[in-house]
Amino acid sequence: MIPVIETDRLKLRPWEMDDFPAYSAFYGDAEMTRFIGGPRDSVAAWQHFCATCGEWLLRGLGILAVETKADGQLAGYAGLWFPFDIGEPELCWGLFRGFHGKGYATEAADAMRRWTHEALALPPLMSFTHPDNRASQQVASRLGATLLGETTLRGEPRLQFRHALPD
């Protein structure tokens, strides 16, 4: 079952069809996707949306939509990305345009990190960030993650972090 996880300000929930326009707009925005493979057209965004939803069915974990409680706006995503070619799940997060600088990424990623520990008893998670993505590196740092070093992910340079287990 796909969880709903709540924090003081956010609700992490399963994706819905009504989320696709915002999802597609995010993935079509070159600036917003510069560190995650660049923009996608609506067909590619749809395929990615379906894969994101399908990971819950196939793996029992995945990425959730992040919604603000105050007004119900779709602010981004947080969760676990675990494709077939990666040896362990990655704790990931991203915010849609207009939602940066409010602490939402840290709050959502921390809630997901805690849920995976409590509900799935997973060991400490890891995250990849692009070397130029200072904002995501700061989120990893706020979560108490340790930089393991430089690596590549699907041919692209990345920094790999290891998160501590929640308190």
Question: Which residues constitute the domain of residue 138?
Answer: 5-162
Orientation angle between helical segments 104-120 and 134-142, nearest 10 degrees? 50
| Residue 49's CATH number | 3.40.630.30
pLDDT in tens, 37-88: 999 999 999 999 999 999 999 999 999 999 999 999 999 999 999 999 999 9
Domain count, the chain: 1
Residue 82: what pLDDT? 95
167 occurs within a structural domain: no
CB 53 within 8 A of CB 15: yes
153 occurs within a structural domain: yes
Identify the sign of the CA torsion 45, 154, 31, 73.
positive
Assigned token pair, 97 = 């345009």
Q: Over 90: is that where the pLDDT of 167 sits? A: no
Cross-strand partners of 94: 77
- Summary mean pLDDT of the chain: 96
Q: Calculate mean pLDDT across residues 125-132.
A: 97
27 occurs within a structural domain: yes
28 occurs within a structural domain: yes
14 occurs within a structural domain: yes
Residue 19: what pLDDT? 98
% of the chain with per-residue pLDDT over 90: 98
Residue 22: what pLDDT? 97
